[in-house]
Structure 1
């Protein structure tokens, strides 16, 4: 039996979530949220409290039925998490079409309404509005409108555009029942080799802060309401300065370093969003090395276990009283698609799993991301190691967000509207235009870019990595050989060092920033036959110098379809991007730089903030 819409003796309509025929205070939509939260916390069992403090990954179904075939067979089902473990914060990866997704969410909310105190489910997701498929960080847009990566929004550098993106993304998320965004990423991109830069706004901390505030404006609004998506800003206190550019998902990337003394620079965007108001914060996996704050050396353990950082800095100094949720898999091992990733318990690997839970609680965390089982939290309380009152503090924060989002009063979505809203023609057009606008057109060294750009109607173009259909739609004439072309367009994939030992590792494009000699030779060969424009997906500050002598222009993109690229090159949508980070001269310059310092490499090819060359279609 699920919660029904009931009428109190005074005429108030409410959901009888515990099905007792009485409008209890937590069910009363007229009461202040603080009163509703306090009433519900007082009613919950230890098991229900522990379940609220777990946020786990769950597989949606391909047909939208709550018990239908799963995208990830073999995982515990959403129903089992809700009914068996009282887990009501569920993080999704693959999703079906919008109508089916909405149907799945509604069915799951009915399951939740029939359980215990009828606590509704909060569905969360990593970013999914662009082009990078990385199961540890982001997903491609799929049915949603496609935009440039956050790095491209940073290239446009306009808070108004970010606010518009976030508002559209909010409308698409809420249409299918997604109410928690595990973003924005407010890390500052100061280490050129780091794989996660595509999900940042770039190297300028002031800009990152301003765009981060605009992002929250679009997703959350002035305050959380039934129309909002709650955001989780990450990775506190700034995850950009990774030693050697390695990522702390992996055992070889644990160290976060500050050789340039720039800790406060990386913290600045978080100061901005905390002052503005944000629902949740996710600490970085990283371990601070040699960091001293207020004259005290910071314990060298992962930030999610770090009392000085979570309680001392975030809670007490910065005044944050929202939810702190750990990054995924701090306590237990992760397995997916035949690969294993050890617990990201960096600096506390010697502790048992139950001791890791306790240390994160003692640090000030409220929720454990990527864990599946609340049993150890329950054991901590039953053994007397942690008082139940400690769980109450975190549970109250978590419930407050659910109430603010209106989930207790109406968690359901309109399945017909979902199909109309998500990926609408209007939203897709705005997103595609932003892809073009984020483009940065840079001068090459083999000729004047203005002699080939903008591409004019009827131009014969050799573009082996762009479809003939897209070329013709742009008014251009595709040709098979460079010698027959007026202009050649070469679309290059970004270089990186492939790795595939750990789970998720193959999705992280890390290591060398240099193009292979064969790639450079191919560019030179084509350029010898025709004026050449090189387009590069700039997910990191790649070493462009070897390409420049062969190109009339090098075009930096940050997540763009072939149509969006051609719109920029023809001038139909003017490119207006600025480089969101510095382009180093060489590997040696990168190695000599400081991981926490923005730019600063010797003799860079292009400075961060370099504006695009102006390319406009003839009037």
Structure 2
């Protein structure tokens, strides 16, 4: 890998002489780059590492022009910013939106892109590196060839903190293998209504479960060199159906609950994340008490930064400030900064954001103290996370390549532990390894369906007739592997199905993400359900064989009638790229250990239903339920 000159000697020189510089240098003079030689990345000649973090940040902050400070507060999307503009505007961060990837989406393309950005950042007067952000929400899921773990709902069912740390560690290593050092994860929403299209991004309906899993994941990322981001602050999982924004029924809506409930359910998880040392927090599109979170000064400044003592920085969501009502873009920026947002995710309008920030300071609409607070927080995170020493991430802890076997095995463990057995009449499971099994249904042999949204692209996709959506294995692959090794037979041709001993029916949802997945029906044949589910269910029923049904989904779906025709039922969630591990459990090489992270409703009319609901309605399956062999 090509090396490039970084800027640590520049930092040290500024730190040692800043008082003299500040006293005699004009604002315009301070913008002129000073060509100083710096040690290469990895050099032992690293004087800046010996400087106290707080002292270093304060010395640099005092030396910065207003333009340099404002640049640190701006984050642009890679498709809308040239590397040279990082230098010209002193940009603090660049990111990839869902599915945004350079070149052919290979590791070397990512490294080259990040090198180009970092080289330009190093050419600024202060040479402060950018941080590059991405939604690696279930592994480094944008990059083809990376290991894709089960979505959070499946990890909530697994409920294994040690496994969560390992997943964070693997994700960090695969990110660093591409030069990416900031993960917009974990989502610590406490999802309270399964109709929400982001339910699968939640570990579950209970805040204690969410915190139990989020904390080790945060540590797994950050202790391995990647900045974590708790999102979306706060209450995004508690929005009410019918209050959604951006044309969605529930996503980005209003969290209409009491302040006591809001604190107990939705703020408590952030308190635990802050205690765990999370470096960044992303603000939610949602509202509370009629105020959009992006302008909620009380919750951001007073509660998060004040009462909770959060020392990192707060970033907006994708053009989130644009949803602040009855204000133009300038006023939206002013309101958001004064509410406590430190960095602006402005994919396309980043130059306008930069200009508005500068104008607002000059006019006195934003105080210089507020700007200093934001930049101080950003610089502190960069210093503490080693971005200054290793702008592309510490190569010594990066994975040698994406999809290493040891990483795949951790994903397989996660798949096995995420499965929840909800019915097993007459002990039809585990399957006999020499059995003749007919496998059908849209989810049986499709890695795209297994992975769901936020995989390569924002909304995800399905396998084509000739190509897998991601590298990996399907559920069918696993059945074939075990059957072939043990004299069993796998049948996929419906014309030969009558010769089988048992039917395995794999139903699925279509891939989706965010509000696109909002679904007011949650049936097996409508809304976001796969359009081939009905045909597969009817086909299995006609055969009259013992039937084992698996459901690939990002939330519970209504199965109250259909389950009567099934001998066994397994919630397989969205297992990711390593679907063949499902067979390990169904054949009995591993027992079921997963428990429901959500109450499973009898009908859509029962929703929202949660285990701590004072109404006390009984669901089809209760939160925490799960059978074993």
For 1:249 and 1:228, how far apart are their aligned partners in 2?
A: 35
Q: What is the Cα deviation at residue 160 of structure 1?
A: 0.8
Q: What is the Cα deviation at residue 276 of structure 1?
A: 2.5
Of 293, 304, 314, 1:303 maps to: 293
Question: Matches of residues 12-91 of structure 1 in structure 2 within 5 Å?
Answer: 18-20=34-36, 28-59=48-79, 75-77=80-82, 79-91=83-95
Q: What is the Cα deviation at residue 427 of structure 1?
A: 0.4
Q: Which residue of structure 1 lines up, in the alignment, with residue 388 of structure 2? A: 408
Q: Which residue of structure 1 lines up, in the alignment, with residue 232 of structure 2? A: 235
Q: Deviations over 1:100-135 (max 9, x none)?
A: 3223322322222112321112011112535xxxxx
Of 338, 342, 347, 1:366 maps to: 342
TM-aligned CA distance change 1:55 to 1:584, over 3 Å? same
Q: Deviations over 1:201-238 (max 9, x none)?
A: 101211111111111221123xxxxx421111112233
The answer on whether the counterparts of 2:283 and 2:314 sit within 8 Å (CA) in structure 1 is yes
Of 504, 512, 523, 2:537 maps to: 523
Q: What is the Cα deviation at residue 154 of structure 1?
A: 0.9
Q: Which residue of structure 2 lines up, in the alignment, with residue 98 of structure 1? A: 107
The answer on whether the counterparts of 1:54 and 1:367 sit within 8 Å (CA) in structure 2 is yes
For 1:391 and 1:220, how far apart are their aligned partners in 2?
A: 26
Q: Which residue of structure 2 lines up, in the alignment, with residue 329 of structure 1? A: 319
The answer on whether the counterparts of 1:437 and 1:573 sit within 8 Å (CA) in structure 2 is no
Q: Which residue of structure 2 lines up, in the alignment, with residue 122 of structure 1? A: 131
The answer on whether the counterparts of 2:437 and 2:504 sit within 8 Å (CA) in structure 1 is no
For 2:151 and 2:78, how far apart are their aligned partners in 1?
A: 25
1:344 matched to 2:295: no
For 1:129 and 1:197, how far apart are their aligned partners in 2?
A: 14
The answer on whether the counterparts of 2:161 and 2:216 sit within 8 Å (CA) in structure 1 is yes
Q: Deviations over 1:361-390 (max 9, x none)?
A: 111121112352211101101222223232
Q: Which residue of structure 2 lines up, in the alignment, with residue 297 of structure 1? A: none
Q: SS state of the match for residue 240, structure 1?
A: helix
Q: What is the Cα deviation at residue 495 of structure 1?
A: 7.0
Q: Which residue of structure 1 lines up, in the alignment, with residue 472 of structure 2? A: none
Q: Deviations over 1:340-368 (max 9, x none)?
A: xxx332xxx21111111111111112111
For 1:483 and 1:390, how far apart are their aligned partners in 2?
A: 72
TM-aligned CA distance change 1:104 to 1:186, over 3 Å? same
TM-aligned CA distance change 1:28 to 1:145, over 3 Å? same
For 1:87 and 1:358, how far apart are their aligned partners in 2?
A: 19
Q: What is the Cα deviation at residue 430 of structure 1?
A: 1.6
Q: Which residue of structure 2 lines up, in the alignment, with residue 315 of structure 1? A: 305
1:257 matched to 2:271: no
Q: Which residue of structure 2 lines up, in the alignment, with residue 387 of structure 1? A: 367
Q: SS state of the match for residue 420, structure 1?
A: coil
Q: What is the Cα deviation at residue 611 of structure 1?
A: 1.7
TM-aligned CA distance change 1:231 to 1:505, over 3 Å? closer
Q: Deviations over 1:387-443 (max 9, x none)?
A: 323211110110111111222223245889967243211101221221122111211
1:613 matched to 2:613: no
Greater helix share, structure number: 2
Q: SS state of the match for residue 217, structure 1?
A: helix
Q: Which residue of structure 1 lines up, in the alignment, with residue 331 of structure 2? A: 355
Of 151, 154, 157, 1:152 maps to: 154
The answer on whether the counterparts of 2:248 and 2:518 sit within 8 Å (CA) in structure 1 is no
For 1:492 and 1:418, how far apart are their aligned partners in 2?
A: 37
Q: Which residue of structure 1 lines up, in the alignment, with residue 481 of structure 2? A: 473
The answer on whether the counterparts of 2:153 and 2:555 sit within 8 Å (CA) in structure 1 is no
Q: Which residue of structure 2 lines up, in the alignment, with residue 486 of structure 1? A: 501
For 2:118 and 2:535, how far apart are their aligned partners in 1?
A: 57
In the superposition, the TM-score normalised over structure 1's length comes to 0.80
Of the structure 1 ranges 248-257 and 559-568, higher mean CA displacement relative to structure 2 is found in: 248-257
Q: Which runs of 5+ in 1 are unaligned?
A: 60-74, 131-137, 222-226, 290-299, 332-342, 499-503, 615-619
Q: SS state of the match for residue 533, structure 1?
A: strand
Q: SS state of the match for residue 230, structure 1?
A: coil
Alignment coverage as a number of residue pairs: 544
TM-aligned CA distance change 1:252 to 1:309, over 3 Å? same
In the superposition, the TM-score normalised over structure 2's length comes to 0.79
The answer on whether the counterparts of 1:189 and 1:202 sit within 8 Å (CA) in structure 2 is yes
Q: CA RMSD in A?
A: 3.2
Q: Which runs of 5+ in 2 are unaligned?
A: 17-32, 40-45, 446-475, 527-531
The answer on whether the counterparts of 2:205 and 2:610 sit within 8 Å (CA) in structure 1 is no
For 1:251 and 1:464, how far apart are their aligned partners in 2?
A: 29
For 2:503 and 2:214, how far apart are their aligned partners in 1?
A: 38
